[in-house]
Structure 1
């Protein structure tokens, strides 16, 4: 499992905007029709959902390309502004980038019974739809982090970094917000929600916390003991990895837990928009949501408690869904992004 995640998610920070991490064709070799899906989602995680969709469509194949979020955004914009047509469906965890993509008139409109049933916070302009529910969690090594040190909230993490700095110096990792669009989104959301944000940045900088590109690198580092704690990790991948590696502990922070809805858009110049719309509808259907839930891509409050990431007393008020709306355009504003990146660099000098 660790190797699988490393291959699928990892170490391509220097990849150019035109290169995907992997590409694989799913479906019969003689399929009469084919669509191209570009996504930040680990194919190994999403594969069962895609194969279930194709089971009822023996004449259809999917070319699935897996990308890092920043590269996917740049490529999607280039396809929109310069052509030729690229993906038929784009799925990304960096939803602020998809909001910007829609705002640039790069997405096609589509309405169905399934998309219309989404709450307003998970649909924008009938061009962007939230298809998953994934928490941002804290992960830790159960064998190396004493019970009394397990950070159940950001306040706990601050206390650990302030009072046990020698033990945890250089042993806490999080996303590099310049390498990871998702990392930027989570950090930006934290800056709006948390009174602890400034203190965490100061503590990260003082204790030599590590900022890196990818979920896989952070979680593999926690499992190996290189890191002891990983902050703001995408829960879907953490729950998947913990199934085979019980030493990976997972915490939904009790002060608040961010909930990401991975977004899907159909580019306006998609050559197979009808097929893409069919896949969107399937992922929002009962059969599709069951598959997403099995893949840990749909986790609700009860799921957090059942998986042991949250205590029984954890309530819905502690969940902070990231809304798919124009509010996220602020996160893409060039000047504000530059200022935010400067603030982050000050906390992680030399990384």
Structure 2
């Protein structure tokens, strides 16, 4: 006769207990990793009236000027900053919310799709800031998820390799260069590996949507021995020393920074046919411990001062129309005027990129095109 506990078989009772403990165990697993990365910024006044908890994928060194500037306005506020991988950031907010515990007051991530998923699944709360009415429609989804930065995909090139002729500035010109200069292009074009780079996958998906001849380019890149890398730095290092002649669809802020550091070797082009733009997305979680502080930090980053600071510190162009219209010599991507910008909208359409079947089909087509004879 099976043993019963309150009318439930003992085996079932243990299973229920394990399920009940799962969220707590997940939180412990996530926080055990994340808290090793936590940085505390004490209240400058020395008399903390509270604490703002931030989960972000932005490196500590880049986040520090943003936090210091915010604390200049709120000297009585301490800030606990936890630097997380984008997947861990998403999973931790979900786990802490479902367990009934408080979570971060503010979340900022470069994974547009995962941030939108949090908002779409009900893990973000609506926040209206003084700048919300003027925010671009593509950069605001239901006042729950806001794009705060402007990150164009660019062509980078090795300047000495193009002394005798101009580098390609459109996808059609790139296709022509690959076909007409096989010796120069052989093994010397680099791009992201979309299987290992999330942003590389997103750029490929957008190219497929916006440019009918993208697969002609991929096939030609395959014929010339394209090199694939998971990070921007690996590509730009090889462009700077001449091992690569062209880098396709690279994150603009990193490429621009390399061009500033290596002005004789690295050039950057915003594609003239169209330029895909991705963003870092911010939200205030529904289960925030102090949502009013998260909303205050969001309002600061959306303000002209916050947008200018983001542009200057991160070297990312501002989303704010007021700031984007100003010259940004100290940071951001210069020369955006007149470029056909194609921002990735902050919308549930991003969720399609998380579908595993869709991802598998796109990667299979990429690999087949690269290996075509």
Give structure 1 stretches of 5+ with no counterpart: 1-15
SS of 2:240's partner is helix
Q: Which residue is 2:136 aligned to?
A: 119
Match of 2:353 among 322, 331, 337: 331
CA deviation after TM superposition for structure 1 residue 79, in Å: 4.4
Describe the shift of the 1:191–1:245 C-alpha distance in structure 2 as closer, same or farther (beyond 3 A). same
Q: Which residue is 1:25 aligned to?
A: 39
Deviates more, 1:57-66 or 1:256-265: 57-66
CA distance in 2, matches of 1:288, 1:123: 17
Q: Which residue is 2:317 aligned to?
A: 298
CA distance in 1, matches of 2:187, 2:36: 31
Q: Please tell me whether residue 220 in structure 1 is matched to residue 234 in structure 2.
A: no
CA deviation after TM superposition for structure 1 residue 276, in Å: 1.8
CA deviation after TM superposition for structure 1 residue 77, in Å: 4.4
| CA offsets 1:188-212 (integer angstroms, 9 cap, x no match) | 1111111231112212322222222
Deviates more, 1:133-142 or 1:147-156: 147-156
Q: Which residue is 1:341 aligned to?
A: 363
Describe the shift of the 1:311–1:113 C-alpha distance in structure 2 as closer, same or farther (beyond 3 A). closer
| CA offsets 1:278-321 (integer angstroms, 9 cap, x no match) | 11111111111111222322255886999998889x625x1112
Q: Please tell me whether residue 315 in structure 1 is matched to residue 333 in structure 2.
A: no
Q: Which residue is 1:185 aligned to?
A: 202
Q: Is the 8 A contact 1:140 1:229 kept in 2?
A: yes
Structural mapping, 1:34-113, within 5 Å: 34-81=51-98, 85-113=102-130
Deviates more, 1:58-67 or 1:137-146: 58-67
Query: What is the count of residue pairs matched by the alignment?
Result: 332
Describe the shift of the 1:91–1:334 C-alpha distance in structure 2 as closer, same or farther (beyond 3 A). same
Describe the shift of the 1:241–1:328 C-alpha distance in structure 2 as closer, same or farther (beyond 3 A). same
Describe the shift of the 1:270–1:341 C-alpha distance in structure 2 as closer, same or farther (beyond 3 A). farther
| CA offsets 1:111-138 (integer angstroms, 9 cap, x no match) | 2222343122111122100111221111
Q: Is the 8 A contact 1:301 1:315 kept in 2?
A: no
CA deviation after TM superposition for structure 1 residue 74, in Å: 4.5
CA distance in 2, matches of 1:323, 1:280: 19
CA deviation after TM superposition for structure 1 residue 264, in Å: 0.8
Match of 1:257 among 266, 272, 275: 275
Q: Is the 8 A contact 1:158 1:203 kept in 2?
A: yes
CA distance in 1, matches of 2:91, 2:295: 23
Give structure 2 stretches of 5+ with no counterpart: 1-28, 319-323
Q: Which residue is 2:213 aligned to?
A: 196
CA distance in 1, matches of 2:332, 2:285: 39
SS of 1:148's partner is coil
Q: Is the 8 A contact 2:219 2:370 kept in 1?
A: no
CA deviation after TM superposition for structure 1 residue 256, in Å: 0.4
CA deviation after TM superposition for structure 1 residue 140, in Å: 1.6
Q: Is the 8 A contact 1:70 1:180 kept in 2?
A: no
SS of 2:273's partner is coil
Q: Is the 8 A contact 2:312 2:332 kept in 1?
A: no
SS of 2:317's partner is coil
Q: Is the 8 A contact 1:252 1:310 kept in 2?
A: no
SS of 2:74's partner is coil
